[in-house]
Amino acid sequence: MKRDPDKLDRYTAPERVNHWLVAFAFILLALSGLALFHPAFYPLSQLFGGGIWTRILHPFIGVALIFSFGSMFFRFRKLCVLTPADWEWLRHAREMMGGDDRNMPEAGKLNGGQKLLFWLLAACMTLLVLSGIVMWRAYFSFLFPPGVIRLAAVVHAATGAGMISLIMGHIYLAIWTKESIGAMLYGKVRRAWAKQHHPAWFREMTGGRK
Amino acid sequence: MALQSLDITRRSATTTPSPSQRQTIEVAKLIDVTKCIGCKACQVACMEWNDTRDAVGANHGVLDNPTDLTENSWTVMRYAEVELEPGKLEWLIRKDGCMHCANPGCLKACPAPGAVVQYSNGIVDFHEENCIGCGYCITGCPFNIPRLSRKDSKVYKCTLCSDRVAAGLEPACVKTCPTGALVFGSKEAMLHHAEERIADLKSRGFAKAGVYDPKGVDGTHVIYVLHHADRPEIYSGLPKDPSIGAMVELWKGAAKPLASLALGAVAAGAFLHYVTKGPNEVSEEIEKEFEE
């Protein structure tokens, strides 16, 4: 990244580190979880040292995710409160995906989609943690009746698939919106980028100057 | 025990055919609870043959010992004191253990390829060398049979002495039973034998005598003759209508292809969107604004 004093600070270093810790834990969880979910994905268990290591590691990586996402949750929860403008933004999201962003309400530091994703992920992770504890045979399953464990298995699988879908969407949108991965890697964005994608935040950062 | 390998009908977590060149006769173990005296010789024989030893337990004031199945006790006798009519005590003794379902919930739930297999003779066997210790088989079993070992994190249960049966012998429990309450043979012969027993029981006043071969799991390869077949649950909670259950069916049935398709659709959708709509870049107009 070229040094450029004109660039705007978007994410602090601790925010970035936190985000990538969550991302790393999540990717490992998704791969190991899929391996245990469907025979077609079982070969993924080789990435973790075989089926037994996959079974041992998956829940512990889950614990790592609880702490890393927990930290991110408290870091971003105020920033992610959805305002009426965000809901309006979401109603126009389809147009924007179609390539027409003329009618988009001005997004703040985060847009409605990013904020909604944050809350959906928080909800998914709550369900995954609760059902995951029930399914963790080595330590907790003996505390629960079979019916609860069976329900937990369904909830865990369905929520896991839902969350992987959300993250795939998240990753795609980051690729689609050029320069946004750079924002999360280096913390800075060009002024033009900020004005294009987050106009309200751009004005806030530059005090109304162009 | 992996002594039979040419006659596997189903392997867990496997989508390709299993080694199934050899076809064997469908077998069954008949447990005639009306003849059982609760001597536990079958329990002892099971431990002797499989060379497992359970920890010395404590007396709970009843004959149940151990009080539940364990990774070392693959069969246990359960003693129920039941008063079907006031003042008329009945002592219903049942030998509990794996039922070797024709449609096994353990096999359906297992995520490890080949950790649970079903032979063409109907025996459902665990291959512990492939077991990853997740306990999904326990979640999937409608009879609450498999037990996870604390020692090695593998799951164990009755093998119906698949090693003995493969060599043409009867299971150890059957071999040792002193009253003829346990009989082993082809499933057809066992059902026939059960019919004779039921006719005899009916002639002696047990109007509801019958065979327990639950259809909810497509029948089992361990079947009971019960004097009160209309109420199996009085035999220490033998499930009245066991089945794999809606939750397990959903988890290991529809969810697997649906979720996989959904993930594939998200990936394909994203790719198509990029190819058709192109990236979302900063507009020329705004770029120009910042150029000077």
Q: Would you call B277 and A210 a contact, using CB atoms and an 8 Å cutoff? A: no
Chain B residue with CA closest to A41: the answer is B260
A69-96: pLDDT as tens digits? 999 999 999 999 999 999 999 999 999 9
Give B1's DSSP letter. -
Q: Would you call A157 and B280 a contact, using CB atoms and an 8 Å cutoff? A: no
Long-range contacts, A148-155 (Cβ 8 Å, 24+): A149/B139, A150/B139, A150/B245, A150/B247, A150/B248, A150/B251, A151/B247, A153/B136, A153/B139, A153/B247, A153/B248, A153/B251, A154/B247, A154/B250, A154/B251, A154/B255, A155/A127, A155/A130, A155/A131
How many helices (H) and strands (E) chain A has is answered by 9, 2
The CA-based angle B7-B13-B19, given to 5 degrees, is: 20
Q: Report d(CA B2, CA A67) in Å as an integer.
A: 43
Chain A residues 66-105 within an 8 A CB cutoff of chain B: 96-99
Q: What is the pLDDT of residue B6?
A: 83
Strand order in the sheet with B116-119: B8-11, B116-119, B124-126
Chain A residue with CA closest to B11: the answer is A39
Distances (CA, A) of A193 to A117, A182, B34, B142: 21, 11, 82, 58
Q: What is the pLDDT of residue B1?
A: 47
Q: Residues of B with CB below 8 A from A178's CB?
A: 279-282
Q: Which string of b and e fits B60-87 if b means at least 16 CB within 10 Å?
A: eeeebbbeebbbbbbbbbbebeeeeeee
Give the mean model confidence (pLDDT) for residues B67-96.
Answer: 96
Cβ atoms of B73 and B54 within 8 Å: the answer is yes
Can A170 be counted among the known catalytic residues?
yes
* Closest by Cα among B186, B157, B174, B200 to B70: B157
* Nearest CB neighbour to B153, from listed A138, A164, A169: A138
* Nearest CB neighbour to B251, from listed A147, A157, A192: A157
**In which residue are the tokens 């990936």 written?**
B267
Q: Residues of A with CB below 8 A from B17's CB?
A: none
Q: Would you call B266 and A151 a contact, using CB atoms and an 8 Å cutoff? A: no
Q: What is the pLDDT of residue B188?
A: 98
Q: Is the pLDDT confidence value at A107 over 90?
A: yes
Instruction: Give the distance from residue A193's alpha carbon to the nearest chain B alpha carbon, in angstroms.
Output: 6
Q: What is the pLDDT of residue B107?
A: 98
* Closest by Cα among A64, A58, A76 to A160: A58
Q: Is the pLDDT confidence value at A125 over 80?
A: yes
Chain B residues 240-279 within an 8 A CB cutoff of chain A: 245, 247-248, 250-251, 255-256, 259-260, 262-263, 266-267, 270, 273-274, 277-279
Chain B residue with CA closest to A162: the answer is B259
Interface size, chain A vs chain B, as Cβ–Cβ contacts under 8 Å: 123
A138 in B contact zone (CB under 8 Å): yes
List the end-to-end C-alpha distance of chain A, in Å, as a whole number.
23
A52-68: pLDDT as tens digits? 999 999 999 999 999 99
* Closest by Cα among B178, B180, B207 to B39: B178
B136 in A contact zone (CB under 8 Å): yes
Q: Would you call A165 and B262 a contact, using CB atoms and an 8 Å cutoff? A: yes
Q: Residues of B with CB below 8 A from A54's CB?
A: 132
Q: Would you call A161 and B283 a contact, using CB atoms and an 8 Å cutoff? A: no
Q: Is the pLDDT confidence value at A209 over 70?
A: no
Q: Which amino acid is at A92?
A: H
Q: Is the pLDDT confidence value at B3 over 60?
A: no
- Is residue A200 helix, strand or coil? helix
Instruction: Give the distance from residue B136's alpha carbon to the nearest chain A alpha carbon, in angstroms.
Output: 8
Q: Would you call A138 and B133 a contact, using CB atoms and an 8 Å cutoff? A: yes
Where are the strands (E) in B68-159, listed by range?
Answer: 75-85, 88-97, 116-119, 124-126, 147-148, 155-156
Q: Report d(CA A1, CA A118) in Å as an integer.
A: 28
Instruction: Dig out the tokens for A123 from the structure.
Output: 């909800």
Q: How many CB atoms lie within 10 A of CB A142?
A: 11
Instruction: Dig out the tokens for A70 from the structure.
Output: 């927990």
Interface test with A, best of B69, B127, B134 (most A CBs within 10 A): B134
Q: Would you call B263 and A164 a contact, using CB atoms and an 8 Å cutoff? A: yes
B197-216: pLDDT as tens digits? 999 999 999 999 999 999 99
Cβ atoms of B211 and B191 within 8 Å: the answer is yes
Q: What is the pLDDT of residue A6?
A: 86
Among B5-14, B104-113, B133-142, B250-259, where is mean pLDDT lowest? B5-14
B112-159: pLDDT as tens digits? 999 999 999 999 999 999 999 999 999 999 999 999 999 999 999 999
Q: Report d(CA B139, CA B150) in Å as an integer.
A: 17
Cβ atoms of B111 and A37 within 8 Å: the answer is yes
Q: What is the pLDDT of residue B271?
A: 97
Q: Report d(CA B263, CA B272) in Å as an integer.
A: 14
Instruction: Dig out the tokens for B133 from the structure.
Output: 């210790």
Instruction: Give the distance from residue B149's alpha carbon to the nearest chain A alpha carbon, in angstroms.
Output: 10
Q: How many CB atoms lie within 10 A of CB A139?
A: 9
**In which residue are the tokens 């039922």 written?**
B99
Instruction: Dig out the tokens for A141 from the structure.
Output: 């399953």
**For residue B254, what is the enclosing H or E element?**
none
Which tops the pLDDT comparison, B67 or A210? B67
For A9, counting Cβ atoms within 10 Å of its Cβ (0-12 exposed, 13-18 middle, 19+ buried), the class is: exposed
Distances (CA, A) of B132 to A110, A180, B8, B121: 43, 41, 20, 25
